[in-house]
Amino acid sequence: MNLKIKNALVSVSNKENIIPLLKILKKFNIKIISSGGTYNFIKKLGYNCIELSKYTGFNEMLDGRVKTLHPKIHAGILHDRQNKSHKNEMLKQNFPSIDLIVVNFYPFQKVVKETKNFKKIIENIDIGGPTMVRSAAKNYKNVTIITNKNDYTSLIKELEKYKGKTSLKFRQLMSSKAFGLTAYYDSMIANWFNNKLNIQFPERKTIFGRKLKRLRYGENPHQNSSIYVNDYNDTELSFSQLHGKELSYNNYNDIFAALDTLDSLKKGAGTVIIKHANPCGVSENRDTMESFRNALNCDPLSAFGGVIACNYRISEKIASEISKNFIEVILAKGFDSKSLKVLKKKKNLRIIDISKYKPKNITSIKTFDGSFLIQNKNKMILDSKKLKCVTKLKPNKKELSEIKFAFNISKYVKSNAIVLCKNFSTIGIGAGQPSRLDSCKIAIQKAKKFLPKKIKNSIAASDAFFPFSDGLKILIKAGVKIIVQPGGSIRDQEIINAADKAKIKMLFTSVRHFNH
């Protein structure tokens, strides 16, 4: 059913793109009602407009907090044009229909980004706008609601096509968008209050997100996918792509894993290589080239087609080394001009600048079929003073520092995780196995294949306790001299005895790092 628009209420804080809209309203003799800055703006442009307070016969009050909250406005929007009782009530009150609402809200999210002034933020929580939008969206059968300046063009086309009318299909689509916006807006406000009050797990949790772009596909070509931004700055991510193909779902998944791991490296030049969301090489070193080479040498086979993340600026020399390998994505805190020239020779390589990236979200979310899990992100950093050495042999200061490095990396490897390290670099990683014994075998197998000379006197970190001594014995036999693990098994003493018998050092953390 196509409905003629006679009266429109226009109230917008963002006045971009409004002139073409005013022209089409004038063309079809649609009366405009407005207030405040929007009214003044429309009048200055030379268009006829009825001031809202004159329309309602009621002056706005409370510093503008109450202006559109009036029966003449909401009855004009909400009444059912096909309902005789509604028609009679509207005639009795002499309330005209309002057939088109064009509204955008007070810029709450913009103000939150710009200030911490509590009063200013509260005053930018829109009440009248969302109320009108919800009223119009509910009554889409009779009313057209526009909440986004990007939809003005669609509305203009609709009015041109149907000679001042809109179709039911168009009104339904705009209604859907409108309810999405009010939910999004309220969600941002609710989350702002929760953050301010440090409520991490409220009784009702809403997650807001704005679609950044549709991706070519999901994990596999037969799956659809999009990426959303869950932030008050919802028009971009906090890193920027400088070159290469569009990022895929899997690229983003690996990038997020890389950034999480990289953020935990604080002592030097850190390099992280990720494949299928698992680290396959991590290194910290004073020298950036050594850091890169050590990370790559851990498992160059798995690094093929992976993501490299660096917490340093890429030089021409490192860029040349990177270019010798097939890499999907390179992330770094800047690139000098010569390095970009080298890297851009690979037209598909995604080059990402993370200079402005700062981690914000302290929670992680997993969803499944109508339910979701939320937890704090695992940002636990081991306190050396709380480490408990359970063997007769004790580690020295340098070893303690490397023990912390190894155990830190284990929390980013899918469970069951075993990480072998030497000189603040991984040399073998066993990831994602149902059996910890298998993870031990894989870590050793990797180390023997690529860095066999480094296994002797290496450090092994386990993300959870050893249920039996078999995994421990395999590590010891390979040449591991220090093992760090949470402890807590009923067979801990058996495992401690095996470590003492082999004359190795073992430490308990009392901290588990499952990552499923």
Are 81 and 98 in contact, with CB atoms under 8 Å apart? no
Q: Tokens 């939809």 label which residue?
A: 151
**Six-digit token string for 25:** 């309203």
210-215/225-229 β-pairing: antiparallel
Residues known to be catalytic: 138, 276
C-alpha distances in angstroms, 267 versus 144, 151, 152, 264?
A: 58, 50, 52, 9
Residue type, 352: I
Can you give the C-alpha Rg of the chain in angstroms? 31
Name 271's bridge partners.
283, 310
Spell out the alpha helix ranges (H) of 197-287. Answer: 249-263
**Six-digit token string for 350:** 């995604």
Largest CA distance in the chain: 97
DSSP 362: -
Among 259, 248, 276, 267, residue whose Cα is nearest residue 310: 259
d(CA 88, CA 329): 66
d(CA 447, CA 405): 17
Backbone angles phi, psi at 304, to 5 degrees: -60, 120
- What size, in residues, is the chain? 516
Are 417 and 513 in contact, with CB atoms under 8 Å apart? yes
Residues 6+ apart with CB under 8 A from 41: 15, 18
Ramachandran region, residue 276 (left: φ > 0; alpha: ψ -120 to 50; beta: rest): left
Among 157, 148, 212, 207, residue whose Cα is nearest residue 175: 148
Torsion angle defined by CA atoms of residues 83, 86, 91 and 92, in that order, rounded to the nearest 10 degrees: 140
